[in-house]
Structure 1
Amino acid sequence: MKVKFIGGAGTVTGSKTLVESNGVRILIDCGLFQGIKPLREMNWDPLPVLPSTIDYVLLTHGHLDHCGWLPRLVSQGFNGKIYCTGPTKEITKLILLDSAKIQEEEANKANQGKYSKHEIAEPLYTVEQAEKVFPLFSVVGIGEAVSLNDSIQAVFTTAGHILGACTIAITLEDKTLVFSGDIGRNDDVLMFPPTKPKKADYVFLESTYGNRLHPHLDIKSELEKYVNHTINSGGTVIIPSFAVERAQTIMYLLWQLKQEKRIPNVPYIIDTPMGINALNIFRENPKWHKLSVEECDKVSKMFLLVSEHKETNEIILDSRPKVVIAASGMITGGRVLSYLEHYIVQPETTIIMVGYQAEGTRGRKMLDGAKEIKFFGKYYPVNAKIVEIGGLSAHGDQNDLVNWLSDLQNKPTKVFLVHGENQPADELRIKIQEKYGFNCKIPLIGQEFEL
């Protein structure tokens, strides 16, 4: 048996781990690389194995960095089954369609504005290619043993993080391989705590926040402070947000603040078609989160739900103070760029970062104090106030990650630390070795190990 790290190693994006056993190839996640240009360029590279030779894809959850390369995989010959939970299937469909539309739009803008370095800018994949992924989905139940063949079984257990997110345990060759996916927090606003594994011979553990502890903040009070200060100054609040889970969390917190009469009566806008559709998935899957259907409906009614670009342009030109939630969360694309084009130059604007900002993304650059940001082929001065509410991440912190291993009834042969930048992964390695004595390894992209 061999495992090869094709992505999500040394970085928090592009998650792809290939397992080979007795002629069977299983790909755990199939994510898009985001962030710095060398990573983004890897999305155009072929896999080290032919996609047509991969038998199965197992998806931990529907975030772009875990599912966003599926259209390329399918267009290059993959025709096997894609196993995931029901909510993950629906979220992945939203994510892929949205990603494809954004890439088509950005390619068109680059061609019209003639700011592409290529003679003709092309999208990484099209909406038509994204739609060809959908017939390959096969939905699995929580805790249900799925037989991939006579000798390989997979079991999906809840991981918190977002709707449908799971840890996947694969049993093959008398060994159990546990892939954490992204581990949620024990005290998440919307999600239930993750399920801890009981047995594992090899663990593949994410390390996004491997060197950080989430601050013990009163998140609602922080949100209240920034909203009130900005609105009272006649400005606009822009919250770049991941469309799934984070957007709904922010909406819920703002709704609570409004109910408590702690924030003013101004327009509250969610401008992400995918985020709006994700609200429906919340309604349809009440067992996966803490909100009631009634609460989902009440939260929705507080917001102007924007789907069309025409509405976006009208809102941008409306000078009244307002609060806008728009994707994408790391400002790598999406409607939030249209708002920033107009508002980032205004000192009375506040941009609130509410999630992890990967290396090389516009969000990370802004948090690091960049004086200007490039998008749509131009540089824009950053005159807006940039703030961060760190307690809103859907990822577990160092304590959560270490604690997630605490129910193991055996000592794993090895713990591979993935989906993290090098320093967080290394600090998590030290913590795990000190607490449990587990043998930890931080793989590099392209490395292969025999198990």
Structure 2
Amino acid sequence: MKVQFLGAAGTVTGSKTLIESDNGTRILVDCGLFQGGKLLRSFNWNPLSVLPSTIDYVVLTHGHLDHCGWLPRLVNEGFDGKIFCTGPTKSISNLILQDSAKIQEEEAEKANKEHYSKHDPAEPLYTVEQADKVLPYFKVIAIDTPFELEEGITATYFYAGHILGACSIALEIDGRRLVFSGDIGRDNDVLLYPPVHPKQADYIFLESTYGNKKHPDNDPKAELEACINETYERGGTVVIPSFAVERVQSIMYLIWQLKKEGRIPDMPYIIDTPMGIKVLDIFTDNEKWHKLKWEECTGMCAMFTMISNYEETIEAIYDDRPKVVIAASGMITGGRVLSYLERYIVRPETTVVIVGYQAEGTRGRKLLEGEKEIKIYGRYYPVEAKVIEIEGLSAHGDQDDLVNWLSDLENKPKNIFLVHGEADSFTELKAVIETRYGYECIIPELEQSIEL
């Protein structure tokens, strides 16, 4: 059996792990976009090192862009197999791909109109039409129920937290059990249940996003309260760049709680992410996947102004009253949050609240590192706004969560492959796991091929 790391090796994004069985069956676990700096994003334009037409199956862990966002390219370049996923992952992936394609088309059009791209003409990575063609390939699988990909190859999904529908995967192939963590959530998540731990594994592919970090023992609700009140008193706007899936809903829940308790003022509270609004419907349709009751979902939504069209976005942007705006994307790589930041990043009374992981090279990472100006649509804007981070809202487990995820193993795995992280996180997580359990950890390189 052979495994090849086509993405998320030596970096956080672009998750793609190719498994080739003894008889030549090829299974791709996740098919995500690279996000971050120019070099990483350029990888999205490269052909896979194997022909997509030779891949038999795709098995998705969840619906984030860095795990499903390359599917339109895969299909467009010849993939004609099945894409397995959970029910919520199918719904979320479809939204994510539609949104991604639309943003890419809009940005290509804007680049061509304003001539700030070195490509002439600038083209989208894929179109809405190409994204539409992915949906018929999805096959929904129940959680905790083994299913057969073909004779001799079985897979089982088990709950991972992180976002709605996210699962880890146990793959039984050629007499070996391969476990792919996907992205692991937190034991104390605001909306989701704790992740389920694996019991048996010969090989483990473990995400390492926060492999060198421990989340602070803080109260994100209290931090949000302080931030909102301080910004309101300055007459400013709170801009919260947010991932549309799960993070928007978590922040909404906390703000709703604060408002019910009379701890934050009356002012506009705005959700400006059409995809995030649609995800709320998926939440109400999938109650068994999360902690919220239907009444809580509807009560929470009633507090917010939901913006769905761009005319309303423009109106909100030019309304200078104090307000709180939650808008995608979470790493400030695209989406409507850029339009808000064009106007508000230059104002000292503004607060930009970072609430999730920021990959290397993204605008969000640069803001956290104290960048004095950021580039948006070819123009540079001085950063005068206050930038703060609320770490307690991350959907990723920290080092303790990742290490504890291995604590119920009843056998010693042959290897643990550390993926989906950066150099420091790999190195520190490897040392902690080897010290605590004595398991051998391998840090694969991008495109590396290893025989199991």
Equivalent residue number for residue 113 of structure 1: 114
Cα displacement (A) at 1:218: 1.1
Equivalent residue number for residue 144 of structure 1: 145
- Letter of the structure 2 residue corresponding to residue 41 of structure 1: S
Segments of 5+ residues of structure 1 without an aligned counterpart are none
Superposed CA offset, 1:241-260 (max 9, x none): 00000000000000000000
Counterpart of 2:10 in 1: which secondary structure? Answer: coil
- Separation (CA, whole Å) in 2 of partners of 1:334 and 1:247: 14
Equivalent residue number for residue 403 of structure 2: 402
- Letter of the structure 2 residue corresponding to residue 144 of structure 1: T
Equivalent residue number for residue 280 of structure 1: 281
Equivalent residue number for residue 47 of structure 2: 46
Equivalent residue number for residue 413 of structure 1: 414
- Separation (CA, whole Å) in 1 of partners of 2:307 and 2:259: 20
Cα displacement (A) at 1:288: 0.3
The within-5 A match list for 1:44-443 is 44-443=45-444
> For the aligned residues, what is the CA RMSD?
0.4
Superposed CA offset, 1:337-388 (max 9, x none): 0000000001000000000000000000000000000011100000000000
- Separation (CA, whole Å) in 2 of partners of 1:439 and 1:318: 56
Equivalent residue number for residue 2 of structure 1: 2
Cα displacement (A) at 1:425: 1.0
Counterpart of 2:169 in 1: which secondary structure? Answer: strand
- Separation (CA, whole Å) in 1 of partners of 2:120 and 2:245: 35
Counterpart of 2:230 in 1: which secondary structure? Answer: helix
Counterpart of 1:347 in 2: which secondary structure? Answer: coil
- Separation (CA, whole Å) in 1 of partners of 2:210 and 2:349: 32
Cα displacement (A) at 1:170: 0.4
Identical pairs, percent: 68
- Separation (CA, whole Å) in 1 of partners of 2:436 and 2:304: 46
TM-score normalised per structure 1: 1.00
- Letter of the structure 1 residue corresponding to residue 312 of structure 2: E
- Letter of the structure 2 residue corresponding to residue 182 of structure 1: D
Cα displacement (A) at 1:422: 1.0
- Letter of the structure 2 residue corresponding to residue 50 of structure 1: L
- Separation (CA, whole Å) in 2 of partners of 1:23 and 1:12: 28
Superposed CA offset, 1:72-92 (max 9, x none): 000000010000000000000
Cα displacement (A) at 1:438: 0.1
Cα displacement (A) at 1:23: 1.1
- Separation (CA, whole Å) in 1 of partners of 2:65 and 2:119: 25
Task: Spell out structure 1 runs of 4+ moving beyond 6 A.
Answer: none
- Separation (CA, whole Å) in 1 of partners of 2:402 and 2:117: 41
Cα displacement (A) at 1:409: 0.5
Cα displacement (A) at 1:203: 0.1
- Letter of the structure 1 residue corresponding to residue 104 of structure 2: Q
- Separation (CA, whole Å) in 2 of partners of 1:381 and 1:422: 30
- Separation (CA, whole Å) in 1 of partners of 2:141 and 2:4: 25
Aligned residue-pair number = 451
Cα displacement (A) at 1:188: 0.4
Segments of 5+ residues of structure 2 without an aligned counterpart are none
Equivalent residue number for residue 18 of structure 1: 18
Cα displacement (A) at 1:144: 1.0
- Separation (CA, whole Å) in 2 of partners of 1:23 and 1:397: 37
- Letter of the structure 2 residue corresponding to residue 71 of structure 1: P
- Separation (CA, whole Å) in 1 of partners of 2:279 and 2:344: 26
- Separation (CA, whole Å) in 1 of partners of 2:223 and 2:399: 23
- Separation (CA, whole Å) in 2 of partners of 1:375 and 1:263: 31
Cα displacement (A) at 1:128: 0.3
- Letter of the structure 1 residue corresponding to residue 256 of structure 2: W
Counterpart of 1:325 in 2: which secondary structure? Answer: strand
Superposed CA offset, 1:94-133 (max 9, x none): 0000000000000000001011101100000000000000
- Separation (CA, whole Å) in 2 of partners of 1:294 and 1:125: 39
TM-score normalised per structure 2: 0.99
- Separation (CA, whole Å) in 2 of partners of 1:114 and 1:398: 44
Cα displacement (A) at 1:229: 0.2
- Letter of the structure 1 residue corresponding to residue 5 of structure 2: F
- Letter of the structure 2 residue corresponding to residue 197 of structure 1: P
- Letter of the structure 2 residue corresponding to residue 376 of structure 1: Y
- Letter of the structure 1 residue corresponding to residue 95 of structure 2: L
- Letter of the structure 1 residue corresponding to residue 181 of structure 2: S
Equivalent residue number for residue 32 of structure 2: 31
